[in-house]
């Protein structure tokens, strides 16, 4: 039997596309109808507990009456209290016959021996004490009251995002699968492993975790097991094992690993659908998990093309902290095939290796100890510390008046050290801080005096964080927005000075009336001061604010973002892929390119959508850079837009909705004949075409005079 489960989640939708921008964690309500079967034979009194609940007890058990036990999703801890110390046990669950399962053993006097959260990883393995005619080995220690324990995980190890309707894989490219490795409360999972089985037409390239150099974080190592029969089918197997205990309550990136799979060169793949299987085990076989299936669908190969000037940026999901360097290379290889030409990584490896794949490396920066580390300077200059709104001096942030003035050399020295260590091609400062609490929001007397002068507040007027918030909110917001732009301008000059050829990028929200108050940035000040080499904004498509953002930046190229959901690994909802129509729309809106956030939730659908868009953009890059955007009579320019230089015209039709549409589009009579880019179908000048678009699809008519 299967669990009947209802999931409820709330979401925020993009008003323009009705696509999810954010999904809350889902609330689950399930009927526990999956049954395990426990068959027990023992000579003396016994008690069976599952997850601290007594399921069965008696003076003895003959092994003739199987006990049916409802399973919950997650850990199901079976504890057998045996007065005479031995029992023959067979534990079975749907899809699993219990073969190879082992049991832990401890004296019945052991504290909390039957409690589900007790860590039994150091208990002895129950030894064989005899044989039972039907159930096999008799386990335990004759004559001594003991507790035997086995933990059966039921659908505990999940792949993320939930692969529904399937995991989509583009042929010939590496696709990562994310397995959640979040442990069990109060318990250690030692030598925890996942065995992955794929059809022979696929290969398992390897696996990687993150931050494995930091104790106690494990490294996930992949061992190939060759071909075996699984569930009546020939499969290729690999086992991924954690080399340190898997613990509960870790940061999400330390509670997962990626396995990488790819179609094998030359393999026959006539069927577009198949499945992978996987199962887990830990603690010498005393923690087991029956196999689970991942439905898989194949997509065409990636034929993306990297533009020369327009940026296609992939946020790498802790890419610089991947433990396995070969899997980093596979990630870059897939990104290259999709047409990405920039990766947000973080470490020196990405700077050295991204160019081999036609990509630049963008390094995130900020004023934290791991980046622009001002802590050592402030230890010796305590009077220069930023004072926060509560009047407390900061250990890591510098007074903004001094930062913009005489103490800037300390900032530049820390920046130089970081750039010399990593040698990135672009430095990106993601600034999303409210003006009252940001890393440059200082309330020391120097900064209060600077604000007093800026806002023309009389000298006798009391001024502190509380009075500013109460009486000078708007003026302070503007004051801080200008200061933030000044900080960026100094950073840009410093980056150019200490690392010639390196560029500074700024990220924040669109130029809206609320952005300075919400995220601390007014792009008009950036445009005025030329405070960055390029900018990035996201997400969604606030149509009324796109022209204002471009105008405010005053010639600074801007990338517009597309967001993968879910991006929170605690959310069990299926992936919402980014469709081709949305990527084309972002390309037409932006002046500098497109950024995609982020890699971890992506499967072949988004890789393919990026590839199909980049090959169009790369082929007609001059048009996307300088071509004139205009509407077509009778159509909303959000869904049909012209892009032209007077000789070549692209008629771009987009369907970023969840329903199929058909549009009758009359092509411009003076633009010439042409072809539809993706299908190759020929069209005539002035022709009315029936443009049928599936959800997320786009058509582009290339017309030439």
Q: What is the per-residue pLDDT across 51-101, written as a single tens digit (0 to 9) for each?
A: 999 999 999 999 999 999 999 999 999 999 999 999 999 999 999 999 889
* Torsion angle in degrees (nearest 10) through CA of 49, 36, 156, 299: 180
Query: Could you tell me where the DSSP H helices lie in 433-472?
Result: 445-455, 465-471
The first and second tokens of residue 41, run together, are 């034979």
Query: Which is nearest to 469 in space by CA: 385, 388, 393?
Result: 388
CB 531 within 8 Å of CB 489:
yes
**Bridge partner list, 30:** 5
Give the per-residue pLDDT at 23: 52
> 110: buried, middle or exposed (CB in 10 Å: 19+, 13-18, 0-12)?
middle
Res. 409: pLDDT tops 80: yes
Q: What average pLDDT does this structure show over 114-135?
A: 97
Query: Which is nearest to 699 in space by CA: 644, 651, 667, 659?
Result: 651
Tell me how far apart the alpha carbons of residues 252 and 254 are, in angstroms, rounded to a whole number: 5
Give the per-residue pLDDT at 100: 85
* Torsion angle in degrees (nearest 10) through CA of 52, 53, 59, 65: -120
Tell me how far apart the alpha carbons of residues 340 and 311 are, in angstroms, rounded to a whole number: 8
Q: Quote the distance between the C-alpha of residue 651 and its chain's center.
A: 34
Domain 630-704 class in CATH: mainly beta
The 10s digit of each residue's pLDDT in 269-284 is 777 899 999 999 999 9
| Percentage of the residues of the chain whose pLDDT score is greater than 90 | 93
Give the per-residue pLDDT at 312: 98
Distances (CA, A) of 295 to 157, 166, 199, 274, 608: 16, 5, 12, 6, 19
Q: Do 156-299 and 630-704 show the same overall fold?
A: yes
CB 292 within 8 Å of CB 279:
yes
The 10s digit of each residue's pLDDT in 345-363 is 989 999 999 999 999 999 9
Tell me how far apart the alpha carbons of residues 345 and 348 are, in angstroms, rounded to a whole number: 9
Q: What average pLDDT does this structure show over 250-260?
A: 98
One-character DSSP codes across 56-86: EEES-EES-SPEEEEEPSEEEEEEEEESSSE
For residue 269, give the 3-state DSSP assignment.
coil
CB 182 within 8 Å of CB 250:
yes
| Percentage of the residues of the chain whose pLDDT score is greater than 70 | 95
Q: What average pLDDT does this structure show over 359-377?
A: 97
Q: What average pLDDT does this structure show over 657-664?
A: 96
Query: Which is nearest to 477 in space by CA: 429, 424, 520?
Result: 520
The model's confidence at residue 205, banded by pLDDT at 50, 70 and 90, is very high
Q: What CATH number matches the domain at 156-299, 3.50.30.30, 3.20.20.70, 2.40.160.20, 2.60.40.1510?
A: 2.60.40.1510
Res. 29: pLDDT tops 50: no
The 10s digit of each residue's pLDDT in 489-509 is 999 999 999 999 999 999 999
**Domain 32-154, architecture per CATH:** Sandwich (2.60)
Res. 399: pLDDT tops 80: yes
Question: Rg of the Cα trace of the chain?
Answer: 30
Res. 20: pLDDT tops 80: no
Give the per-residue pLDDT at 346: 83
Tell me how far apart the alpha carbons of residues 281 and 411 are, in angstroms, rounded to a whole number: 50
* Mean pLDDT of the chain, nearest integer: 95
Buried/exposed 443-458: b ≥16 CB within 10 Å, e otherwise = bbebbbebbbeebebe
Distances (CA, A) of 320 to 331, 345, 418, 499: 11, 5, 15, 21
Res. 2: pLDDT tops 50: no
Q: Quote the distance between the C-alpha of residue 355 and its chain's center.
A: 23
Give the per-residue pLDDT at 680: 98
The 10s digit of each residue's pLDDT in 164-185 is 999 999 999 999 999 999 999 9
The first and second tokens of residue 187, run together, are 């318990």
Give the per-residue pLDDT at 28: 45
Res. 30: pLDDT tops 50: no
Q: What average pLDDT does this structure show over 474-479?
A: 98
Order of all β-strands in the sheet with 202-208: 159-160, 175-180, 256-263, 202-208
The first and second tokens of residue 193, run together, are 């492993």
Parse the chain into domains and list their residue ranges.
32-154, 156-299, 630-704
The model's confidence at residue 27, banded by pLDDT at 50, 70 and 90, is very low
Give the per-residue pLDDT at 268: 75
Task: Please name the residues in contact with 163: beta carbons below 8 A apart, sequence gap of 6 or more.
Answer: 294, 295, 296, 574, 603
Task: Please name the residues in contact with 513: beta carbons below 8 A apart, sequence gap of 6 or more.
Answer: none
Q: At what angle are helices 408-422 and 473-498 packed, to 10 degrees?
A: 50
Task: Please name the residues in contact with 26: beta carbons below 8 A apart, sequence gap of 6 or more.
Answer: 7, 8, 9, 571, 572, 573
**Block residue for tokens 């850079």:** 625
């Amino acid at each position: 039997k299967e669990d009947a489960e209802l999931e409820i989640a709330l979401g925020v939708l993009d008003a323009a596309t009705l696509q999810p921008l954010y999904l809350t964690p889902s609330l689950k309500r399930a009927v526990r109808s999956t049954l395990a079967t426990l068959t027990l034979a023992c000579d003396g009194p016994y008690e069976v507990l599952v997850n601290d609940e007594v399921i069965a007890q008696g003076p003895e058990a003959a092994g003739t009456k199987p006990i049916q036990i409802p399973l919950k999703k997650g850990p199901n801890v079976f504890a057998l209290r045996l007065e005479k110390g031995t029992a023959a046990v067979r534990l079975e669950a749907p899809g699993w016959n219990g073969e190879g399962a082992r049991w832990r053993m401890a004296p019945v006097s052991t504290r909390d021996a039957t409690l589900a959260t007790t860590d039994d990883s150091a208990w002895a393995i129950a030894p064989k004490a005899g044989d039972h005619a039907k159930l096999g080995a008799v386990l335990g220690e004759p004559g001594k009251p003991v507790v035997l324990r086995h933990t059966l995980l039921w659908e505990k190890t999940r792949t993320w995002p939930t692969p529904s309707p399937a995991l989509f894989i583009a042929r010939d490219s590496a696709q990562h699968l994310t397995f959640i490795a979040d442990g069990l409360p109060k318990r250690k999972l030692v030598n925890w492993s996942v065995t992955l089985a794929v059809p022979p037409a696929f290969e398992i390239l390897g696996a990687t975790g993150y931050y494995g150099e930091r104790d106690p974080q494990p490294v996930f190592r992949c061992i190939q097991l060759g071909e075996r029969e699984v569930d009546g089918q020939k499969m290729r197997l690999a086992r991924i094992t954690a080399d340190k205990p898997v613990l509960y309550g870790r940061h999400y990136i330390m509670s997962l690993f990626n396995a990488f799979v790819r179609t094998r060169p030359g393999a026959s793949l006539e069927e577009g659908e198949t499945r992978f299987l996987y199962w887990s085990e830990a603690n010498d076989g005393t923690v087991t998990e029956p196999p689970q299936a991942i439905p898989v669908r194949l997509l065409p190969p990636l034929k993306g093309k990297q533009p020369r000037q327009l940026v296609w940026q992939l946020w790498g999901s802790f890419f610089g902290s991947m433990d396995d360097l070969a899997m980093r290379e596979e990630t870059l290889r897939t990104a290259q095939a999709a047409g990405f030409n920039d990766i947000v990584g973080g470490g020196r490896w990405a700077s050295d290796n991204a160019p081999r794949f036609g990509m630049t490396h963008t390094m995130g920066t900020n004023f934290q100890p791991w980046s622009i580390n001002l802590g050592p300077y402030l230890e010796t200059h305590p009077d220069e510390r930023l004072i926060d709104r509560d009047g407390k001096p900061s250990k890591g942030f510098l007074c903004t008046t001094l930062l913009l003035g005489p103490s800037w050399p300390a900032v530049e020295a820390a920046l130089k050290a970081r750039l010399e260590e990593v040698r990135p091609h672009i430095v990106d400062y993601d600034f999303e801080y409210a003006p009252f609490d940001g890393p440059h929001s200082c309330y020391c007397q120097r900064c209060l005096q600077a604000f007093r002068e800026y806002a023309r507040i009389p000298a006798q007027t009391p001024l502190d964080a509380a009075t500013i918030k109460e009486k000078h909110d708007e003026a302070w917001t503007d004051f801080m927005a200008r200061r933030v732009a000044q900080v960026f301008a100094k950073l840009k000059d410093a980056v150019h000075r200490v690392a010639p050829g390196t560029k500074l990028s700024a990220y924040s929200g669109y130029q809206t009336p609320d952005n300075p108050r919400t995220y601390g940035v007014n792009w008009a000040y950036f445009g005025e001061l030329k405070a960055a080499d390029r900018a990035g904004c996201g997400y969604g498509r606030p149509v009324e604010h796109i022209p204002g953002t471009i105008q405010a930046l005053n010639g600074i190229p801007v990338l517009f973002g597309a967001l993968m959901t879910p991006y929170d690994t605690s959310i069990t909802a299926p992936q919402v892929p980014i469709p081709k129509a949305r990527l084309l729309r972002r390309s037409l809106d932006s002046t500098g390119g497109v950024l995609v956030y982020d890699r971890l939730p992506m499967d072949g659908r988004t890789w393919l959508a990026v590839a199909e868009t980049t090959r169009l953009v790369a082929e007609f890059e001059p048009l996307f850079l300088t071509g004139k955007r205009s509407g077509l009579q009778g159509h909303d320019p959000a869904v049909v837009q012209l892009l032209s230089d007077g000789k070549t015209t692209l008629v771009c039709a987009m369907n970023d909705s969840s329903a199929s549409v058909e549009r009758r589009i009359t092509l411009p009579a003076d633009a010439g004949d042409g072809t539809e880019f993706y299908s190759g179908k020929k069209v005539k000048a002035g022709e009315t075409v029936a443009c049928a678009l599936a959800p997320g699809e786009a058509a582009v008519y290339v017309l030439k005079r």
